[in-house]
Chains A and B, each alone.
Chain A
Amino acid sequence: MTFFLFLLQGLFVPVVSPLCVGVIKKIKARLQNRQGASIVQPYRDLWKLFHKDERVSRDASWIFFVAPFIVFTVTIFVGWNIPLFSLVSGLSLTSDALVIVYALALGTFFLALSGMDIGGAFGGFGSSREMTLSALAEGGFIFSLLTLALMAGTTDLFDIASHPLFHNGQYFIPVVLAFSGFFIVLLAETARFPFDNPATHLELTMIHEAMILEYSGKRLALMEWASANKLVVFFALGANIFFPIGLSSSVSMSALLIGIGALLLKLFVFCIVIALIESSMAKFRFFRLPDLLVASFILNAVAIGLVHSL
């Protein structure tokens, strides 16, 4: 049963992630008075991409060929090592908060390299912007997890999630501050408004899509899927680290079903929030974004100060 849970944990993120993208797109379409594609459209897109032939730039090196596998692997690895629907982890050796942060950085590293590899004008600028944002987001990301770690007395994400919500109200303000900081990082890292526009193609403003512009076929599918995985990973972190309700603490079937149900519900709420943000606000000018990321860091630093004084 534990092994089954372990497998389920690993498969959950890649299975659910296209659905989340579909749901966000559907909600956005409805908000724009459009019918919108079906919520399972991302699955169909992936299926189609996986069955297409590939066309690769002559300038590409082996980095370009292996990068999608590494980027995808990293998102699976991270998805496997964060609390999703259960507090029981099969492997507590790799669920340290810093491991998660730096593993995601590993993915970003290869994503940015693959953007530069083909020597197009777009890829390079996409990589430059991606690295600028992720370098500045790192401080906020580590500190938001650290705030929670200090409250729970451990950096293991499963242990953090098993601590009671808000610690009986005592830590309400720090949690809210840390979550605000985390949410800014979430928007930046998952290429969402106001940082990036996931729907755009071929605009000078784009970041993530610019880096994967030269990909096609299977490798494009992997890149798109990895991006969706990363979205769900961040949703799950936000949902389970900051609001750890409904996670199953045993491995019984009913507890698992409740856990999965709760997580799906939370993911849906995050999808609605993201869709609302993307429908109601404009993308920021690039050089205004660092202010937002520094704000995220400061919010978390304040939260840490509050944790200690309480």
Chain B
Amino acid sequence: MIAFISSQAGFLVLLSVFAVGAIGSLVFRNHDTWANVWSSFFALFGSLVGIIFSLLMLIQGREMSFSLFQTSFVFLQFSLRIDMLSAFFIFAISLVGFFCSLYGFGYVKHYYGKYSIGVLGFLYHILLGSLLLVVTTSNALFFLIAWETMSIASYFLVVYDRRDASNVKAGFLYLIMTYVGTAFIIAFFLMAYKYTGSFQFDVIKLHHALIPQMIQNAMFACALIGFGTKAGIIPFHIWLPAAHPAAPSHVSAMMSGVMIKTGIYMMIRLFLDVLAPVPLWWGEVVLVIGMVSSILGVLYALTEHDIKRLLAYHSIENIGIILLGIGSSITFYALDMKSLALLGLIAGLFHTINHALFKSLLFLGAGSVIDQMHTKNMEEYGGLIRYMPQTALFFLIGSMAISALPPFNGFFSEWLTFQSLFQGIATLSFSLQFIFVLAAGSLAFTGGLALTCFVKAFAGIFLARPRSKEVMHVKESVLSMRLAMGGLAFLSILFGLFAGFVTETIAFVGQRLDIFHNVKVFVSVSSMQTLQLTDGFALVSAPAIFSFLAIILFGVFLLVRFGINSTQKISFGDTWDCGTHLDTRMEITTTGFARSIILVFKNVLKPSIQQTVKYHDAKSRYIPKSRTVTMSVGNIYLTHFYQPLQKMIDEASLRSKTIQGGNINMYISYIFLALILSLFVVL
């Protein structure tokens, strides 16, 4: 059985499970419950097989390459290659897919009768299957097919709730951005084909030295824009905060948790495998993009009061942090410091899996809250911890993990990222050191700002008094949703506690890349899951931190509860508020909470404050009836980058329209001219 799962046939079975799930969901599209049961069962089963498959691959260290079937086209080979890097991403996708599917089983019930559950199941299965294909293909054309399938499936999932006009608009933006991205990716592969004569990744890798440096640089720019758009780097991120909130929550979790990571996967594949070794400045550019994305991502998150948009911006931030790791890896590799390069890659991959876990957890938590509250506006929440205690606990764990608080998993991947940046500061020459100082600084500020943002998010949603009447009717979500969140929360803790084990596994994944073959890992793992840098610069132990904190907490609690004045009484009363009558207007809102930090960064964020005052008497301006203050942050990318771009394209199109005169003689002469020209070129 085990031997079968970890074989080529096992992977094909894995894909066919999703295919059966997809087709079956369509068959049952007229019956909501059956469609849901069918689709959830096959999604869960498929994800489970995927987890087992990838774990077996990782444990056995087996790699395989094979073709799905032969075609008569020379260029298009349906060839797959599953190496350790692919297996790692299959693991991340299956793991998140498993919990999202579990969650989806309970979550989609509120779509019953409104939208077709069968279609949702179909698209969801297509998304899962295409995600697995994207990280395993080894032929560029086949890759593009998988990539497009993934993009289209996710587009239809974004516009699934199609009666909301804003979702359709978000989907449209996503579609445009994804095609712009794909255009650059196609350009990348065409350039590679021109000089290497193949669309096979391994052939490109073998002959990439034939590509002139200028063309390679152009390819780098294309790959960065193409895959960066999917990953959500700034300034190509604008689709992300629009599209992720629009999709159903378990799909948002999939999109934010793993789909955007396919961009990261391809960057690693191309820059550290296919095209490696790459020039130094590529690494520096990736580092700078990481800095900008991490800092700006978290700042934009702070300005949001739509819970899912806030989480979407945090994805941008975390992609930035991952790119800090990957960027340092590329930089070190270009400088021939292989051991440190491997450290950077480990940090990036560790953060990738961690982010997949806690971001999907947070999206699922947000989904539960939205499901009950029917609004994404955090200003209308408040006090939900009383009504949804378990969701609150899981969301709290997710918040702590994403804020990199020890001993949760986020801390250890950020610790590794910090260490790889510190190594750069300690060992590199002055100009390079400067970039690493800035990178470490941006990571430090990002950590602090993320903490602020999650105090805002958690307290805004779950703490204090309800800010709207809706809250009173809120109930805890159903079992399958709680199980999914609980599982992810548990894994977030587990990946923190066993950070050493995870690091070892990822180090193994990295070492199996060709460029890191026989490279010593810069971080060693000793007893107590202790992570230690080889040069003794730093060490950290998750179980030690956890147990030390737990013992002190337990001791303090026992001492205070029973040691001192054990007969103490606790009485309850109203919150004291200077003697005024306390109502929900006294509470701080999430906008108010973030206001001071937004004002600190007002030069970057460009916030605008609008006041609308209504008066009782139009003549007397002294007694206002109501007063509304709206604080908003403009979209500077739209106004300063995309709109001018659109204007330029519009004008260029208008100008070029003049050649299309409608006169048939003109068109014939165009053809004639083109013929003459092409003859000149060819002969």
Chain A residues with CB under 8 Å of chain B are: 50-59, 61-63, 69-70, 72-74, 76-77, 80, 91-94, 96-99, 102-103, 105-106, 108-109, 112-113, 116-125, 127-129, 131-132, 134-139, 141-143, 146, 149-150, 153-156, 202, 213-214, 217-218, 222, 286-287, 290, 297, 301, 304-305, 308-309
Contact = CB atoms under 8 A, between A and B. Distances in A.
B560 A218 contact: yes
Given A61-B463, A76-B552, A132 B564 contact: no
Contacts of A59: 383, 464-465, 575
A234 B357 CA distance: 34
Nearest to A64: B463
Contacts of B316: none
B445 A58 contact: no
Contacts of A93: 528, 530, 539-541, 544-545
A105 B450 CA distance: 11
25 contacts: A56-B571, A72-B556, A73-B552, A73-B556, A76-B552, A93-B530, A98-B415, A98-B418, A106-B400, A106-B406, A109-B400, A116-B464, A119-B382, A119-B383, A120-B586, A125-B592, A129-B596, A134-B448, A135-B445, A138-B448, A139-B445, A143-B440, A149-B538, A156-B538, A287-B599
Given A218-B564, A290-B600, 18 more contacts: A52-B568, A61-B392, A73-B549, A93-B539, A102-B405, A102-B406, A105-B404, A106-B400, A106-B405, A119-B383, A121-B587, A122-B577, A132-B596, A150-B422, A222-B556, A222-B560, A308-B430, A308-B433
Of residues A117, A131, A218, which shows the largest number of chain B Cβ atoms within 10 Å of its Cβ?
A: A131
B426 A150 contact: yes
Interface string B433-453: 110010011001101110110
Contacts of B571: 53-56
Interface of B: 382-383, 385-386, 392, 396, 400, 403-406, 411, 415, 418, 422, 425-426, 430, 433-434, 437, 440-441, 444-445, 447-449, 451-452, 454-456, 458-459, 462-465, 528, 530, 535-541, 544-545, 548-549, 552-553, 556-557, 560, 564-565, 568-578, 582, 584, 586-588, 592-597, 599-600
A127 B445 CA distance: 18
B538 A119 contact: no
Which 4 pairs from chain A and chain B are nearest by CB? A124-B588, A119-B464, A138-B448, A135-B448
A138 B444 contact: yes
B136 to A, nearest CB: 36
A94 B383 contact: no
Given A113-B458, A146-B422, A150-B425, A91 B540 contact: no
A50 B564 contact: yes
A113 B455 contact: yes
Contact of B455 (A53, A92, A116, A141): A116
A63 B405 contact: no
User: Main SS of the interface on chain B?
Assistant: helix
A128 B592 contact: yes
A106 B396 CA distance: 12
A124 B587 contact: yes
A58 B552 CA distance: 29
A135 B573 contact: no
A307 B586 CA distance: 50
Contacts, number: 263
Given A116-B463, A135-B449, A77 B538 contact: no
Contacts of A121: 577, 586-588
Contacts of A287: 596, 599-600
A57 B464 CA distance: 10
A84 to B, nearest CB: 16
B587 A119 contact: yes
B441 A301 contact: yes
Contact of A51 (B406, B418, B565, B597): B565
A132 B595 CA distance: 9
Contacts of A70: 553
A137 B588 CA distance: 23
Contact of A91 (B405, B426, B548): B548
B459 A116 contact: yes
A181 to B, nearest CB: 12
Contacts of A76: 552, 556
A53 B568 contact: yes
A62 B390 CA distance: 12
Contacts of A156: 538-539
A119 B463 contact: yes
A92 B541 CA distance: 9
Contact of B406 (A103, A117, A124, A308): A103
Given A109-B455, A143-B441, A155-B538, A58 B405 contact: no
B534 to A, nearest CB: 13
B340 to A, nearest CB: 15
Nearest to B428: A308
Contacts of B405: 102, 105-106, 109
A119 B418 contact: no
Given A93-B540, A96-B540, A304-B437, A218 B568 contact: yes
B239 to A, nearest CB: 28
Of residues A52, A102, A119, A120, which shows the largest number of chain B Cβ atoms within 10 Å of its Cβ?
A: A119
Given A120-B586, A124-B588, A99 B406 contact: yes
Of residues A62, A73, A214, which shows the largest number of chain B Cβ atoms within 10 Å of its Cβ?
A: A73
Of residues A123, A124, A135, A150, which shows the largest number of chain B Cβ atoms within 10 Å of its Cβ?
A: A135
A77 B588 contact: no
B373 to A, nearest CB: 17
A117 B459 contact: yes
